[in-house]
Amino acid sequence: MVLRVSVLFLALLVFSPASSQVQEDSNDSIQYLSEQLLLGSEVRIEDAALAASNIIPEFYSRREFTPAWADDDQIDEFVGLIGKAHEEGLNPGDYLHAELSVLSHDHRQNPDDTDLQGRLDVLLTESLSRYGNHLTYGKVDPAQLNENWNWLRSSDGRDPVALVQQAIDSDSITAFINNFLDRGPIYRRMRAMLAEYRSLKEAGGWPLIDTGPTLKLGMEEDRIAVIRKRLAVTGDLPRSEDNQSRVFDTALEQGVTAFQDRHNLDADGAIGAQTVAAMNVTVDERIDQIRVNLERLRWVIRDIEDEFVITNIASFRTFLVRDREIVWSGRSQVGRFYRQTPVFTAKIKYLQFNPTWTVPPGILANDILPAVQKDIGYLAKKNMDLIDRDGKKVDPASVDWSQYRAGRLPPFQFVQRPGPTNALGRVKFIFPNSHFVFLHDTPSKALFDRTERTFSSGCIRVENPFVFAELLLNNPGKWNSDSIQKLLDSEKPQNVFLDEPLTVMLLYGTVGLSDMRLVRFYRDIYQRDARVLDSLNAAFEVRDALVGFAGEFH
């Protein structure tokens, strides 16, 4: 049953200044709408379907179906707030800004229209529930985009109905939302960055650079003057420089290097094809990229603890944070495009020094088995043992390798012995998970010098792993460089447990910050931004339940 009624969704504990008869009539309208939602009917106000079916009936029943939004200034503040949802990278239309603007104006012109008052009241509450939910959890449900997503969108025991009431009762809904969310300096800086790039767009953006041969220091060419203007727009080259010059001088080289560093390119100061391509990403595309990553922050930022490990897959870096300050960071190598490092969260429980490496089935089928079939000595060269089901070593020469293939693997474990050439290096950091992914050392240390580091089969290789290990263990009297080296020299596997498990988050962000000031853009190595952007731009969809600030989508 579709009820095409113009009515509002959630309201709070404020009494209407209208007469008792007007209030009673408004109550009847609000009660009718609430009961229809409770019955599971589709209810529409100004042709907008109400989504907060888990909130509205309970919210208004607690109020005995009295209107909640009675102050015109309060209504104006909230309608103005959702009208600026684009500042959060969101769409004001998702929060019924146009509909509320019309209804609030009509209500002011017709204050005795009780049906209008009821519709406005409920629609304001619907809008508040949508807006609060999206600011708290994000508009896009990451679990629908990524089956590995395991962060919870729970209420943490908070009463969403009471929170909606508190927001409406507050002196300022804007201040209430900001205080309730308190998303920290990173989110605020990225939000400011969005405003900065929108200002660049309003000022005309930046010029595009024609393709051509690589430009270097000392060269002279017409494109150089255009490049100067391009770099000046984003502050990579001071605007005081001679932006008309066709000469590639030292100042321009420094500006190019700064741009390359911010865009995770080889910072060689020369303008080749990759640098031109990055310069030619439009301001609209950069705005969308920032919006996508603001949304990604909303997915996780409310769950950030004071101490944790985080790997940003797209930036190829891992960080250790204590008391919300970075105490260590290192370059990382992550999964290739066809063996992508998954996004999820877990707890680091222990470190294993001198690890063995048991080859997982995928790598066995795709890499190891073909190599053994070509060269029977491959396993000896890689310090690998064949282990049968009884735990006994098997001579590779005694096996008929021709009978095995990707769909029929040999009934052995392939185990690489500890040592400097072990694929996991000399230490791994274990956070049990269904993906068999962990952080670890690597013998392929030269690859850390590459700008783009997609080399692994899904695990995260970290540089300077023993410094990282000392900091994680956080007991310098027992675990220091000398004691760790002594343990490594034994070449015997040993597990060392953390005093308390530590949260690790594997995330994917294509926008970052340097010193909370400079914006950094990373290539979308796994091509994930577009799906987030499409969902972010899509029209609001009514889900089974929308339950406000402290609620969740089911």
pLDDT (0 to 100) of residue 548: 56
CATH class of 305-356+420-523: mainly beta
pLDDT in tens, 492-503: 999 999 999 999
Quote the tokens at residue 252. 């321009």
Q: Which residues of 334-346 are buried (b: 16+ CB within 10 A; e: fewer)?
A: bbeeebbbbbbbb
Residues of the chain scoring pLDDT < 70: 1-26, 155-156, 241-242, 516, 543-554
Measured distance CA(538)–CA(532) in Å, rounded = 10
Name 530's Cβ contacts closer than 8 Å, sequence gap at least 6.
Answer: 524
How many Å apart are CA 399 and CA 384, to the nearest integer?
15
What CATH number labels 206-281? 1.10.101.10
> Which DSSP state fits 137?
H
Q: How far apart are CA 31 and CA 52, in angstroms?
A: 15
Residue 197 identity:
Y
What is the Cα–Cα distance from 262 to 78, expressed in whole angstroms? 37
State pTM to two decimals. 0.89
Put the strands of the sheet holding 42-45 in their side by side order. 2-4, 42-45, 48-49
How far, rounded to the nearest angstrom, does the alpha carbon of residue 313 sit from its chain's CA centroid? 11
pLDDT at site 12: 22
The predicted structure's pLDDT at residue 183: 85
- Are β-strands 454-456 and 325-335 bridged in parallel, bridged antiparallel, or unpaired? parallel
Residue 303 CA to residue 498 CA, distance in Å, equals 21
* Helix-helix angle 114-137:283-300, to 10 degrees: 90
Report CA torsion sign: 539, 545, 547, 552: negative
Closest CA to 237 of 249, 254, 223: 254
Q: What angle do CA 123, 533, 261 make, to 5 degrees?
A: 130
| Rounded CA separation 518/373 (Å) | 51
pLDDT of 309 reads 97
Answer yes or no: are the C-beta atoms of 263 and 520 closer than 8 Å.
Answer: yes
Angle between helices 97-109 and 114-137 (to 10 degrees): 150
- Please tell me the predicted confidence (pLDDT) of residue 24: 54
Q: Whole-angstrom Cα distance, residue 32 to residue 65?
A: 9
